[in-house]
Amino acid sequence: MHWILSFVVHSSSFIIMKTNILLIAVFFLTACSAEKKINVEIVNNSAVDRTEEVIEIAWNSLTKLQANSVVVLNEEGLEIPSQILYNGQESPYSLIFPATVPANTKKAYCIKAGVPGEFPVKTYGRQFPERKDDFAWENDRVVYRVYGPALADEYPSNGYDLWLKKTDALIVNKFYKDDLENGISYHVDHGEGLDCYKVGHTLGAGAIAPFADNKIRVENHYTTVKVLDTGILRTTFELIYDSVWVGNEVLSEKIIVSLDAGSQFNKAVVSYSGDFKTLDLAAGIYLHAELGTIVTNQELGTIAYAENAVSDAGVPAGRNYVGVVFTSPVKEIFQDAEHIAGVTGYSNNQSLVYYFGGGWSQSGFSSDIDWFEHVEEFAKKINAPLEVKF
């Protein structure tokens, strides 16, 4: 772990007898004994506990089941939340559900025909034409947004905005409505959170852009946006940027962003097309004009940042946190007056996967160190995915 301090300008436990273990096993098998059922085993080979981590299973592995008539049971035979993904199409694409598997253990789950129960909706996203084409999305932990065409003259940027919240309720519709109709600004904390993060023409909280001539080529607003899935466990959408300039060349970018319930991080699948073979991309974080703390680990592919959060009314709101996690090799960690970013290579028409996210000292992270450790632990989980066995 590499630390940089920078002044930046601009259960109670239960003893279970063997007989009880056998009873639980028998109950699980009985609960999953219907004809239309599939038993799966989730294996955690890592040294890190995985708690309600969203598992995805391709629908072509579940062909004996019918969409909208599927339930998932844990080892105790209790139904847990699940969501069928369509990836913007009419036919099912995959099934997701949250798995809790302690380090170096495995857990059994049953997928079977049935009527799904009611569970809280924990993710959401949509375009807000009433707010200058913002596209905003959230889960039970945090809110993000990206600027659209109606803001072309003010903020022509592909940077991600970060909203801080201290409630697990979905708030983005309420915040926009209160601001637009009642004059209650979401830039001030009224008890649930606020937007105090400034983006401008930067990468903001973890966006990506071409890197050429030792400079990050921050892009303009998105051209089109399409929601692919939104539901109780995951929201996924597609952004198209059709005018990405690199020197005299104009490239096109497609980025698919997904956010899972309970996660601080978004998954981003990025692809560029145009007249080139390879190029460098930089994903990073805007450094605001205040004391911030940067932590980087080039080998692990992580960048983490902590800074003061202050409302538009000038009221201190603790510390806000941002992080970027790469899945491809990081060539260098680049820093200038505005950004800290990781640079990675890219080949034409391929897909590059990375993660970006944020947090708040008033919602789950009591100190900067807690956030820095969370970013590195998240990266280790990405490098050791849970294994699904049928």
- 3-state DSSP call for residue 381? helix
Residue 194 vs residues 60, 186, 227, 261: alpha-carbon distances, Å: 42, 5, 24, 20
Edge-first strand order for the sheet with 332-335 is: 215-216, 205-212, 278-286, 339-347, 332-335
Q: Which residues of 7-35 are buried (b: 16+ CB within 10 A; e: fewer)?
A: ebeeeeeeeeeeeeeeeeeeebeebbeee
Return the bridge partners of 357, or none: 265, 323
Q: Residue 154 has what pLDDT?
A: 80
What are the backbone angles phi and psi of residue 30, rounded to the nearest 5°? -65, -45
DSSP 36: S
Q: Residue 257 has what pLDDT?
A: 98
Residue listed under structure tokens 């391709």: 58
Distance (Å, whole) CA 338 – CA 217: 12
Contact criterion met (CB below 8 Å) for 140 and 173: no
**pTM for this one?**
0.91
Contact criterion met (CB below 8 Å) for 28 and 108: yes
Contact criterion met (CB below 8 Å) for 202 and 215: no
Q: In tens digits, what is the pLDDT along the chain, a chain of 390 residues? A: 444 433 333 333 333 333 333 333 444 444 465 457 899 999 999 999 999 999 999 999 998 888 889 999 999 999 999 999 999 999 999 999 999 999 999 999 999 999 999 999 999 999 999 999 999 999 999 999 999 999 877 877 999 999 999 999 999 999 999 999 999 999 999 999 999 999 999 999 999 999 999 999 999 999 999 999 999 999 999 999 999 999 888 999 999 999 999 999 999 999 999 999 999 999 999 999 776 999 999 999 999 999 999 988 889 999 999 999 999 999 999 999 999 999 999 999 899 999 999 999 999 999 999 999 999 999 999 999 999 999
Q: Residue 24 has what pLDDT?
A: 37
Q: Residue 20 has what pLDDT?
A: 38
Distance (Å, whole) CA 108 – CA 305: 38
What are the backbone angles phi and psi of residue 186, rounded to the nearest 5°? -85, 0
Domains of the chain from N-terminus onward: 32-113 (2.60.40.1180), 121-389 (2.70.98)
Most distant pair of Cα atoms in the chain: their distance: 73
- 3-state DSSP call for residue 139? coil
Distance (Å, whole) CA 284 – CA 108: 38
Return the bridge partners of 258, or none: 236, 267
- 3-state DSSP call for residue 367? coil
Q: What's at 87, amino acid-wise?
A: N
Angle (CA) 232-268-284 rounded to 5° is 125
- H helical segments located in the chain: 18-31, 172-182, 368-383
Give the number of other CB atoms < 10 A from CB of residue 250: 12
Beta strand 70-73 with 105-113 is antiparallel
Q: Residue 35 has what pLDDT?
A: 57
Q: Residue 308 burial (CB < 10 Å; 0-12/13-18/19+)?
A: middle
